[in-house]
A = this chain, B = another copy of it.
Amino acid sequence: MKIIDGGVTAANGFYAAAAAAGIKYKDRTDMALVYSEYPCAAAGTFTTNVVKAAPVVYDREIIRSGAPVQAVIVNSGIANACTGEEGMGYCRRTAEAAGEALGIPATSVLVGSTGVIGMQLPIDRVCAGVKLLADAKKDTLEAGTEAAKAIMTTDTVKKEVAVEITLSGKTVRVGGMSKGSGMIHPNMCTMLGYVTTDAAVSSEMLQKAISEIVQDTFNMISVDGDTSTNDTLLVLANGSAGNEMIAEENEDYRTLYEALRYICETLAKKMAADGEGATRLIESAVIHADTKENAKILAKSVVCSSLTKAAVFGCDANWGRILCALGYSGVQFDPDKTDLYFENDEKKILIFHNGSAADYSEEEATQMLSGDKVRIVSDMNMGEASATAWGCDLTYDYVKINADYRS
């Protein structure tokens, strides 16, 4: 697997575009298109929130039907959530406008929305934006980057990644983009993520792979514990790389799986690191847990603890809050047998051992919390299961951004 430049347009046959449609923002692009010149096998995972945004309900139906998909239209101004029948109608009208502008069936168009909950879309501006997108679409890496920028809301950096693999002798590319900074605590999947590949793969195998992969990637990040109404991850595969169609769990499947996993984990970590107001990425690794499920619960409890997150912001090695977060996770364990470490690229220091503080240097611990990335390792000494979760620190800027998001 080779890491290459680009995102959703890295794979053959994929086009992208961005447009300033004035949905919410005045001075930036706020609509994006991902388009494939060939019909795609598609897979997706969606929010588990009972309150589902209209585009989630709309896309889920199409993905479940197994019909080929050829385009995705996204806007980043209004979430189209809590908008009733009117909001559902706007999903259909967006897809119809895109079908007409791109010369493809409306049923092969997926839609995505992110932004303020509860407002109705200005549908005329959306339809005008769709025409701009169809005219502007290009298959360059730059077009992919522009799309990645257009789907941002409170994100401070665009998120894209691509890799190249070989399947049955053919070069295959997999690329993706995502957005997400607040209301991040995915369950089943997260925020908006779009992955494209020119691999030939059945929609069943694609869905199987992505459903597994989200459990260890997007579902293991948290910025603020709030699971969005709009979480959506879509994967489109147009088959133009010409590899043998993947229709079973063979070696090609496993190679593609690893590529998809790398794309998803990278995008997930980029989202955690760019959490609203965040100054650093927190990586919480749990090792030697009794079961994988418990390892995940423990790892996630640490990155979800407001107190741990605030301590990391202050570079305060207040490790008692980490033990506390493990303790209220719901998992049973023996604190006296748990070891806690801080780790970075250069070293690993023991913080807690035998039920009380280890003999570490406070200065060294503080210094290890001041990098861009803080890695906390909890060794449960119970078994062989491990898991990693990602989050970010809690800062003044998180409060600032969210106390005044709508204005």
| Chain A residues within 8 Å of B, Cβ to Cβ | 48-52, 79, 81-87, 116-120, 182-183, 185, 187, 224-229, 304-307, 310-311, 313-314, 316, 318-321, 323-329, 331-333, 335-336, 352, 354-357, 394-396, 398-407
Known A117-B320, A335-B50; contact A306-B403, beta-carbon cutoff 8 A: no
CA gap between A116 and B362 in the complex, in Å: 15
Residue of B nearest to A407 (CB): B316
Query: What's the least CB distance linking A12 to chain B, in Å?
Result: 38
Pull 7 A–B residue pairs with CB atoms less than 8 Å apart, ordered by A: A48-B328, A85-B355, A226-B305, A229-B323, A306-B306, A316-B403, A316-B405
Query: What's the Cα separation between A153 and B226 when bound, in Å?
Result: 29
Q: Identify A310's interface contact among B326, B329, B402, CB under 8 A.
A: B402
- Are B50 and A399 closer than 8 Å at their CB atoms? no
Question: Given the known A-B contacts A327-B51, A335-B82, are A352 and B118 also in contact in the complex, defined by CB atoms under 8 Å?
Answer: yes
A336 touches B84 (CB 8 A): yes
| Minimal Cβ-Cβ distance residue in B for A224 | B306
**Known contacts A306-B306, A357-B118, A396-B399: A327-B229 contact under CB 8 Å:** yes
Within the complex, which residue of B79, B120, B314 is in contact with A404, where a contact is CB–CB below 8 Å?
B314
Within the complex, the shortest CB–CB distance from A393 to chain B, in Å, comes to 8
In whole angstroms, what is the CA distance A319 to B329 when docked? 29
Q: In the bound complex, how far is the Cα of B329 from the Cα of A70, in angstroms? A: 35
Whether A320 contacts B87 by the Cβ 8 Å rule is no
Closest B residue by C-beta to A83: B356
The smallest C-beta distance from A89 to any residue of chain B, in angstroms, reads 12
A399–B402 touching, CB < 8 Å:
no
Choose among B52, B187, B324, B401 the residue that contacts A51 (Cβ–Cβ < 8 A).
Answer: B324
Chain B: CB-nearest residue to A340? B82
**A327: B residues at CB distance < 8 A:** 49-52, 227, 229
Contact B356 A118 (CB under 8 A): yes
Assembled-state Cα–Cα distance A402/B355 (Å): 24
Central interface residue in A49, A226, A306, by most chain B CB within 10 Å: A306
Query: Of B119, B321, B331, B402, which one neighbours A306 at CB under 8 angstroms?
Result: B402
Query: For A50, what are the chain B residues with a Cβ–Cβ distance below 8 Å?
Result: 326-329, 331-333, 335
Report A14 CB to chain B, min CB distance, Å: 32
| Inter-chain contact A318/B399, CB cutoff 8 Å | no
Asked if A310 contacts B403 (CB within 8 A), the reply is yes
Which partner residue on chain B sits nearest A395 by CB separation?
Answer: B399
Please, which residues of chain B bring their CB within 8 A of the CB of A320? 79, 81-82, 116-118, 229
Residues of chain B contacted by A310 (CB below 8 angstroms)? 398-399, 401-403
Residues of B within 8 A of A321 (CB): 117, 183, 226
A146 CB to closest chain B CB (Å) equals 28
CB-nearest residue of chain B to A277: B399
Residue of B nearest to A315 (CB): B403
Residues of B within 8 A of A406 (CB): 316, 318
Q: Is the CB of B183 within 8 A of A229?
A: no
Min CB distance A398 to B, Å, is 7
Cβ-neighbour of A335 out of B48, B51, B225, B354 (below 8 A): B51
